[in-house]
Amino acid sequence: MKLTGSKILLESLVLEGVDTIFGYPGGTVINIYDDLMGSSIKHVLTRHEQAAVHAADGYARATGKVGVAIATSGPGATNTITGIATAYMDSIPLVVITGQVPTALIGNDAFQEADLIGITRPITKHNYLVRDVNELARIIKQAFYIARTGRPGPVVIDLPKDVQIATAKFEYPDTVELRGYKPTFSGNVRMVEKAVKMMLTAKKPVLYVGGGATLADAHNELMELAETLQAPVTTTLMGMACFPTRHPLSLGMLGMHGTYYANMAVTNSDLLIALGARFDDRVTGKISTFAPHAKIIHVDVDPTSIKKNVRVDLPIVGDLRDVLKKMNKKLAEHRDETTQAGETLKPWHMEIAGWRKEQPMTYKSSKTEIKPQFVIEKLRELASDDAIITTEVGQHQMWTAQFFDFTQPRTFLSSGGLGTMGYGLPAALGAQAAFPERQVIDISGDGSFQMNSQELATLVQYRLPVKIVILNNNFLGMVRQWQQLFFDKRYSQTCMELPIDFIKLAEAYGANGLRASRPDEVEEVIRQALAMPGPVIMEFKVSREENVVPMVPAGAGLNEMVLRTA
Amino acid sequence: MRHTISVLVENEFGVLTRVAGLFSGRGFNIESLSVAPTLDATISRMTIVTSGDDRILEQINKQLNKLIDTIKVIDFTGEDFIEREMALIKVTAEEATRAEILRICDIFRGKVVDITPKCYTVEVTGSPVKVNAIIDLLRPMGIKELVRSGPVVLGRGPKGWKGN
């Protein structure tokens, strides 16, 4: 039986196991939306296409499945760009379907035409313009395969309107044939053996864990490796929640706003074991003083990440979970040596404990002003263990990373690579759509929140009970902090001078709003909000000029941290 | 340092942009690029001449391999290979210079492929160094127009890539 392109698309999505998609209709996807009415797929109508992609991204990060978003051609498609770039930088598996003008009009500057394949080429893992309905099923199969395998990433399918209307025999392929795409899954055993030897003789090892550990769902294997070796673990922002922050071996986050002890441990280590991390500039600081005494083992599924920014002594390309399993197996064969190695690490742990005591991760509390860090700590105390936390980008994001103790993987969703303000609310929307019963909390600042605040409407419409924390300092806080420290307090355009009544805003959308202006109100507001059934904004009037510390100034080494600011 | 790389890619819509965009987006240099289909019409072969240190070259190789449409990357750095470039040179041919142009052509095993009363078009093939040399010799006669194909390369010896 022959099906139309739009029916083939929806049938294929069902066969890929897609249950929820996020999108926004328009002229060139109207056929798909018509067929959606009879489909088993649930569609969430966001209020902006950017939010649809972030929501699919939040869904993907929380579940580990491929997120799907849909938008119309031209402006609908260009609105998806920030969402796609966000997913690309953090290696999140997405399939984004965009409408396109009919093939006969492509290149004619037709109404609502944009060259989306050209625009998205550098921010997708791959993209397709479908020019023949007979190729559609194969392309969808390939798109999902490419999105979720190897180093995951977003794939765009640009689907002209006439291809949606044309008919073809529908046969969904069982296998994928891509002669140019064969990601390495299995780590080289000889390299793993070499790595294990290096681990057993190291006196000051550090495990440096990135987002790859989450993507590979390697948290259990990571825990086994860390505990067997008794090696301290530091994570990047993206690796956060892959290793419990309260674990005795955890050093918290490293890098620009990392803990003093994590950065000191990396700087003084003799073996740095990088697991699914890519030595981002926010992590390394000045490259020439980064881990200067360490041999570096780098495990990554993407060969381009290896030796891109730093020299590597032992590269291992492969799926992190597979490599860690092999490492753990090898270590189990050397039980005596492992125990011995644990003993030799005692002085190293003493040294780290010294740094921890010298500069613990803390802040100056206040009885009169709400400290943003205090709100984060209270939230951790009152939220459930499996609560999914999303953030926007800025000071609140760093305070969340520093003070919210994560215990379970895939519970921290944040735009690390691109640093997208406006990510958190729609990402929370997507995560809540995937897990209606779990607590989902967006931690935001007053600046970031306003970048996608229209999604309050989506939350209310679909009864998605996302809780929103706004740490309101009436500033674009992170930029203000830089201006204070490096631009002589010249606060150019960082003061959000118009005070927004976020409570009224919430109410305008049919949501609830609660406000705390004094420290003694914080706990009650959080308790009340978490107990309410629908979406709630919690606005906290926080101390306005609080800074994120420690801080490694741009271009400085990890050992040159600014520990406190005036 | 100058490097020559061959890339076998899917002969598909937009593949040239993917390769060119990769170079420009990551700040890699392209000195020349030539592309045409292989014996297998579904595969195109690109020859790219680029420059950079070892670290950059390693990234270029890896990033090219990462493209979904890339089937194989052959880096000729340190390899023994044949490199050929073709040039068409339109040179002013006056009474006094015609014989000299033909002599130069002969030495370089070039051919005159178009003649008008005032102008010869010379076809020459060789390594880029050889092409440079004939251009230098013809320049004094007055070169009106010139086109170079950019080099294409094959490794020496019997080994081939699947006969393509």
Two structure tokens written together for A228: 């067997």
Q: Are A167 and A133 in contact (CB under 8 A)?
A: yes
What pLDDT score was predicted for residue A61?
98
Query: In terms of C-beta density within 10 A (0-12 exposed, 13-18 middle, 19 or more buried), how is residue A233 classed?
Result: buried
Chain B residues whose beta carbon lies within 8 Å of the beta carbon of residue A178: 68
Residue A200 to residues A194, A204, A358, A403, B123, Cα–Cα distance (Å): 10, 11, 29, 33, 65
Rounded Cα distance, A378 and A202, in Å: 39
pLDDT at position B71: 96
Could you tell me how far CA A217 lies from the centroid of its own chain?
14
Provide the pLDDT for residue B162: 62
Average pLDDT over residues B5-15: 95
Chain A contact for B103 (CB, 8 A cutoff): no
pLDDT at position B16, please? 96
**Does the CB of B162 have a partner CB in chain A at under 8 Å?**
no
Helix, strand or coil, per DSSP, at residue B100: helix
- Chain B, nearest residue to A184 by Cα: B66
Q: Does B18 touch chain A (CB under 8 A)?
A: yes
Contact A473, A447 (CB under 8 A): no
Interface of A with B (CB under 8 A): 117-118, 121-122, 125-126, 129, 131, 146, 178-181, 302-304, 307-308
Q: Does B34 contact A at CB distance below 8 Å?
A: no
pLDDT confidence of B145, banded at 50, 70, 90? very high
Which residues of A are known catalytic residues? 49, 111-112, 161, 478
- pLDDT of B158 > 70? The answer is yes
Instruction: Find chain B residues with C-beta within 8 A of A128's C-beta.
Output: none
CA distance A313 to chain B (A): 14
Determine the pLDDT at residue A427.
98
Report if pTM > 0.90: yes
List the single residue in B14, B17, B71 with the smallest CB-CB distance to A179.
B71
Tell me the average confidence (pLDDT) per consecutive run of 10 residues in chain A, 566 residues long.
Answer: 96 98 98 97 98 98 98 98 98 98 97 98 98 98 98 98 98 96 95 97 97 98 97 97 96 97 98 97 94 97 94 97 98 89 93 97 95 98 97 98 96 98 98 98 98 98 98 97 96 94 98 98 98 98 97 93 84
Phi-psi region of A520 (alpha: psi -120 to 50; beta: other; left: phi over 0): alpha
3-state secondary structure of A441: strand
Compute the count of residue pairs across chains A and B with CB atoms less than 8 Å apart.
35
> What are the residues whose beta carbons fall under 8 Å from the beta carbon of A193, sequence distance 6 or more?
A330
Tell me whether residues B65 and A121 touch, CB distance under 8 A: no
Give the closest of A117, A179, A307 to B58, CB-based: A307
Q: What is the pLDDT of residue B163?
A: 44
Residues of chain A in contact with residue B58, where contact means CB-CB under 8 angstroms, are 307
